[in-house]
């Protein structure tokens, strides 16, 4: 299932006003202090990423459980996973990082999957 994208109308009617409101509010809150504005932007970006992807600890836990569930093998090629660098792949991105919606892949299989999905 392809990831949901905003239409041109949604970008214009929903996203643009939201973005302008948020960035304007950060400008107000920072009162001209560029270091505070930078820190607010950074914290907001990080929090939004966590809303979508979960925290690094959450993903690490899922990876550990998936490695055990898959008996240390790549979910596609069935070769042993590397100790470092295995990739936690979401089957449907919008469903998030859950045990049911993920698989652990070796880097080569992940690159192939991403190319097939046209993400690279």
Decide if 2 is inside a domain.
no
Looking at the structure, tell me whether residues 68 and 112 fall in a common domain.
Answer: yes
Looking at the structure, tell me whether residues 27 and 49 fall in a common domain.
Answer: yes
Decide if 77 is inside a domain.
yes
Looking at the structure, tell me whether residues 49 and 74 fall in a common domain.
Answer: no
Residue 93, domain extent: 56-116
pLDDT digits (tens, 9 = 90+) for 40-90: 999 999 999 999 888 999 999 999 999 999 999 999 999 999 999 999 999
Q: Residue 1 above 70 pLDDT?
A: no
Q: Judge if pTM exceeds 0.75.
A: no
Decide if 1 is inside a domain.
no
Tokens of 76: 């596609």
pLDDT digits (tens, 9 = 90+) for 82-100: 999 999 999 998 888 999 9
Q: Residue 35 above 90 pLDDT?
A: yes
Q: SS in 3 state form for 22-57?
A: HHHHHHHHHCCCHHHHHHHHHHHHHHHHHHHHCCHH
Looking at the structure, tell me whether residues 46 and 60 fall in a common domain.
Answer: no
Domain count, the chain: 2
10 Å Cβ neighbour count for 103?
19
Decide if 3 is inside a domain.
no
CATH number, domain containing residue 61? 3.40.1800.10
């Amino acid at each position: 299932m392809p990831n949901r994208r905003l239409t041109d109308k949604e970008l214009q009617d929903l996203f643009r006003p939201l973005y302008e409101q948020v960035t304007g509010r950060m400008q107000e809150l920072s009162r001209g202090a560029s270091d505070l504005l930078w820190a607010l932007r950074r914290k907001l970006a990080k929090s939004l990423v966590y809303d979508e992807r979960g925290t690094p600890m959450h993903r690490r836990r899922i990876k550990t459980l998936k490695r055990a569930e898959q008996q240390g093998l790549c979910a596609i090629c069935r070769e042993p996973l590397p100790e470092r660098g295995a990739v936690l792949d979401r089957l449907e991105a919008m469903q998030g990082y859950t045990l049911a919606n993920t698989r652990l892949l070796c880097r080569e299989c992940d690159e192939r999957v991403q190319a097939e999905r046209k993400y690279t």
